[in-house]
Structure 1
Amino acid sequence: MYPYMTLEDGTEVTHSQILHEDGLDKVLVHFERPNEHGFDSARCELPSYTWTAWEGAFSDAEVERFEEFLRDNAHLLYRYASNGGLKVA
């Protein structure tokens, strides 16, 4: 997984490389935030916006905000996934 961004609440956003499955180019995007017992985490598969994992205390409202974030950033996530992650100088 490649680092993408840290959100205001400390949630880390990471993504996979491009995955070729069933004739589609997919990207997995993972959201993770530390808590007192480990981590809250959620994973979404693009382009279907299917949530494949969700553990911990992320609320429904937070996951809705994550999905909005994904819709706004999907084109960048695909670009960086195809180039081996975000390159920072």
Structure 2
Amino acid sequence: MLWEYARLDDETRIACSATRSDGTVRVVVERPRDGGLDSADCLLPQCRWKDVDGFSTAELAFLADFLHNNAPLIFDIAERHAEERNIA
């Protein structure tokens, strides 16, 4: 399950998973485009991109910087969701 973390001015949406068993957090980035979505998956803390469709190298660099600057909060949210999942 993913939870929306942020929505940028251009309608790019950033969502994160709960903390996974290996301590990583999956981040999914999507942006509307004609007939579909630009999308990319990122694994934190490594900030390793995969399945990138429609984002330029410069846009990925901006998003990587955004994720790096927001990582402490993203990990805090992800950990809370992991704890909620274990309680339920």
| Smaller-chain TM-score bracket | 0.7 to 0.9
Within a 5 Å distance, the mapping from 1:1-89 to structure 2 comes to: 1-21=2-22, 25-55=23-53, 57-84=54-81
Task: Output the aligned Cα RMSD.
Answer: 1.3
Structure 1 segments unaligned to the other structure (5+ residues): none
Calculate the TM-score normalised by the size of structure 2.
0.87
Structure 2 segments unaligned to the other structure (5+ residues): 83-88
Instruction: Give CA deviations for 1:8-28 in whole Å, capped at 9, x if unaligned.
Output: 11100000000012xxx0001
Output the CA distance in 1 between the equivalents of 2:76 and 2:52: 25
Aligned-residue sequence identity (percent) comes to 35
Moved over 4 A (4+): none
What is the identity, as a one-letter code, of the residue corresponding to 1:77?
Answer: I
Output the CA distance in 2 between the equivalents of 1:52 and 1:17: 18
Q: Whose strand fraction is larger, Structure 1's or Structure 2's?
A: 1
Calculate the TM-score normalised by the size of structure 1.
0.86
Q: Whose helix fraction is larger, Structure 1's or Structure 2's?
A: 2
